[in-house]
Homo-oligomer: A and B are copies of this chain.
Amino acid sequence: MLLSIIYIIGITAEAMTGALSAGRRNMDWFGVMLVASATAIGGGSVRDILLGNYPLTWVAHPEYLLITCVAGIVTTWLAKWVVKFKGVFMRLDALGLAAFSIIGCQVGLNMGLHYGICVVAAIVTGVFGGLLRDLICRQTPLVLHQELYASVALIVACLYLTLAHFAIDESISIIASLLVGYLVRMASVRFKWRLPRFNLLETAR
């Protein structure tokens, strides 16, 4: 229940930031709705396609798709405020990332998959929305360069799976994972934590 609420907040926030990317590319309303939806629910869709987990969430629940499309269009009117309150959106995005990762784990566990694949499912859910957004908008994918993002999904997944493995109460597991994911993500932004980079030109000299 808590997870559902945070999921809906998360896809709304992601859709709005996705719409901003579409606005930077001067797209029309259809483009805005496409990029907003791809950003918000593209990660879960890629996960379900990779795992063969049909029907996709938004096919079973068209209201989610409605939310992301409306959030995208609303953003075209409220762009000024979305940009102004970007700190709030970053917080909602951090919470959404943690929620997406937990949901990814749950899907993997429900399908009886290997823990390693559950972790992959969590990372795909958390990361591929942004990756799709950047592919459609022809930007260099941020998640491959920036602060910890996939790593946060990894940490949340490992924590949640560990708690699930030892049969800790579900709502405690979810709250703990959300909290840790949120804090690690915010800390990584604040302190500019980054994964090591691979610069071929320097390394191979």
Residues of A within 8 A of B (CB): 19-20, 22-32, 34-35, 45, 49-52, 54-56, 59, 62, 65-66, 75-76, 79-80, 82-83, 113-114, 116-117, 120, 127, 131, 135-136, 138, 140-141, 143-145, 149-151, 194-201, 203-205
Give A49's nearest chain B residue, CB to CB. Answer: B49
5 nearest CB pairs, A to B: A23-B200, A31-B144, A52-B54, A28-B195, A30-B150
B144 touching A30, Cβ below 8 Å: yes
Q: In the bound complex, do residue B198 and residue A29 qualify as a contact, i.e. CB atoms below 8 Å apart? A: yes
> Which residue in chain B gives the minimum CB-CB distance to A82?
B204
Question: Is chain A's binding surface mostly helix, strand, loop or mixed?
Answer: helix
- How far, in whole Å, are A50 and B37 apart by their CA atoms in the complex? 14
10 additional A-B residue pairs with CB within 8 Å, beyond A51-B59, A80-B205? A25-B140, A27-B198, A30-B150, A30-B151, A59-B117, A62-B116, A66-B116, A79-B200, A136-B141, A138-B138
- Using known A-B contacts A116-B62, A198-B32, determine if residue A79 contacts B26 with beta carbons closer than 8 Å: no
Q: Are A62 and B195 in contact (CB under 8 A)?
A: no
